[in-house]
Structure 1
């Protein structure tokens, strides 16, 4: 499959990737219903066999479950490691209530949690999931994570030009 450069990064990505929202399952209000993790891993493997080279997930998908399923797929995949993209800025409480937060301490904790769930040493693209008033603080926190080598590239998701 052909690749193209992603923005100003050094990432050369396929035009199609694997979106892992649905594999998070039904563990949250925006879930897609019950999913079979073995089938989800098989779907990721098949997409990789067909030539995609990146997987997009988010901490909030299934309250971390999607990232764990992606980790399982990466662990059992025998080909080249795909790029792993995930997102931050949506936190949840014990009751599963989701709220937006780009507080620097929250961003750092989310990153550490995502690295652990994904079982990777570095996140290839770390994105702010949704706009919030704390954008500058959140962006600065992500830039620090990038300097520390926890994430390779940082970006935004679900933003329009005016919100940036």
Structure 2
């Protein structure tokens, strides 16, 4: 019996480690950027930019799908089933699968994730988080006007523009 007692801590440790594969551990690793929804600006013969840019036909329905997923994830956070950071990561994975990657959405997501991390740590409050995101969105509103190679489906950015009651990128 004494011999068996010395194996209990080892068996306990093995049981805990065996469960590690089933526990979700969020990762904050860099994902290589491969823009998938960029339309290059078309130049006319005089070298002027043409007004040929338009958003993807599925853009506004994609914004709606991202909004629905964000609502679902928000409910999961309120129920304590996941953290704000995990919800942000899941929402990012969802938007990449839905519309692909682009420089605008990737940049806005970085700010969104940083805001979620800082908020979860208690370093900033909800109002500060909102202002942080709004400032990033304002920056993209200013750059958008003169931007070459605009992404045709900045759905994540326009979803956040809607949430913040700001004018969307068009």
Normalising by structure 2, what TM-score?
0.24
Tell me: higher relative CO, structure 1 or 2? Use CA pairs within 8 A at least 6 residues apart. Answer: 2
Q: Rg larger in 1 or in 2? A: 2
Pick the structure with more helix per residue.
Answer: 2
Normalising by structure 1, what TM-score?
0.25
